Amino acid sequence: MYDNRLAYLYTMPAVLVMALFIVYPFIYNVVISFSNMNLSHFRNWDYVGFKNYLLVIFSDDFWYYLFKTILWTVLNLVAHVGIGVFLALLLHEDIKGKTFFRTLLILPWAVPQYITALTWRGMFNSEYGSINLLLGHFFGIQVPWLSTEWGAFTACLITNIWLGFPFMMIIALGGLQSIPANLYEAADIDGASRFQKFRNITLPLLKPVMVPAITLGVIWTFNNFNVIWLVSNGGEPSDKTHILVSWVYEAGLNYFRMGYAAAFSMIIFIILLMFSWRFIRHTRATESVY
């Protein structure tokens, strides 16, 4: 340890910042998850054991929002990865205006998320929104996007797909560019079809790049508070358009049910920890393929 004191000194600022902004709040969150801290007992709270955890597990809200969160995450990830890889494959080809299209397709990612979310909310407005105006003009229909449970969910989904595909596209494009060209040449000599090359060369060699990106994507989407909150105006209608994290925010900072919200967030943490661990182990993403 003495020999490495300089290394410890260098890491000390990062350790201190981590301790202050991550470790301490995390421990505090664990503590209040066992308390009755709320608007009526903010300073004079008591320990209530596992009451909050039981309240979360046995409430319909938790299972409903968990279902919505899983659905939200899966649909988003499928769309993000599908659209992202598809566009990356297109951009990897020798096409005219490649740089222009690449810049254009990154734009949704470059615009701040809350601006995009509020812009889409405006576009989904039933009276003035451009989407309904176009739907009305071309198909004679008007969709109540934001006043129905699944309309609002779909609106959030479309917004987040718009926001999320550029990230996967960039990652996939980087992965494609790192695949040695001689593998495709060898496949051509063997007479492999386009699909066979995609399945046997492109996909396996994209995997080490895409799996960590998908893992990150799952965690980000699972915890994507901004889009859900801003597009659905805080979970409207009837608190039906929540995912787990937006409900925790509502419970904690709108209803001030701090103990309950802390327990809820611990359960979310455990779900994500288990998922990430199993996913990375199962896909062996950290192993080298070359």
Partner 1 sequence: MVWTSLKPVEQEVLDSLLQSFSAGYPQYEFRQLFYPNEEARINFIISTLAGKGPDLIHGASDNVGPFTDLNLIQPLESHLDSLFLAGFLQKPFPANTWLKGHLYQIADRIGNHLCLVYNKDIIKEPPETMNELIELAKTLQGKTSGGKTIRYMLAWNYTEPYFAVPFIGGYGGWIVDDQLNPTLNTPATVKAARLIYDLAHTYGVTPRECDYEIANALFKDGLSVMIINGPWSWGTYLANGMNIGIARIPMIDETHLWPTPVVSPLGYSVNANLSGKKLEIVLELLKYLTSAGAQLAYTRVSGSIPSQKEAHRSPLVTDSELLRHAIDQMSIGKPMPVVTKMRWMWDAMRPGFQGVFSGELTPEEAAAFMQKKAVSLIEENL
- In the complex, the smallest distance separating the C-beta of residue 95 from partner 1, rounded to whole angstroms, is 42
Name which of 175 and 252 has its Cβ closer to partner 1.
252
- In the complex, the smallest distance separating the C-beta of residue 251 from partner 1, rounded to whole angstroms, is 10
- In the complex, the smallest distance separating the C-beta of residue 43 from partner 1, rounded to whole angstroms, is 7
Name which of 62 and 109 has its Cβ closer to partner 1.
62
- In the complex, the smallest distance separating the C-beta of residue 148 from partner 1, rounded to whole angstroms, is 5
Q: Cα separation of 224 and 114, whole Å? A: 11
Q: Cα separation of 211 and 115, whole Å? A: 29
The total of other beta-carbon atoms located within 10 Å of residue 261's CB is 26
Q: Cα separation of 24 and 15, whole Å? A: 12
Report helix, strand or coil for 141: coil
**C-alpha torsion angle, residues 122, 127, 131, 134 (rounded to 10):** -150
Q: Cα separation of 122 and 239, whole Å? A: 20
Name which of 60 and 93 has its Cβ closer to partner 1.
60
Binding site for partner 1 (CB under 8 A): 38-40, 42-43, 125-128, 144-149, 233, 236-240, 253-257, 260
- In the complex, the smallest distance separating the C-beta of residue 119 from partner 1, rounded to whole angstroms, is 14
Residues paired with 47 in a beta bridge: 35
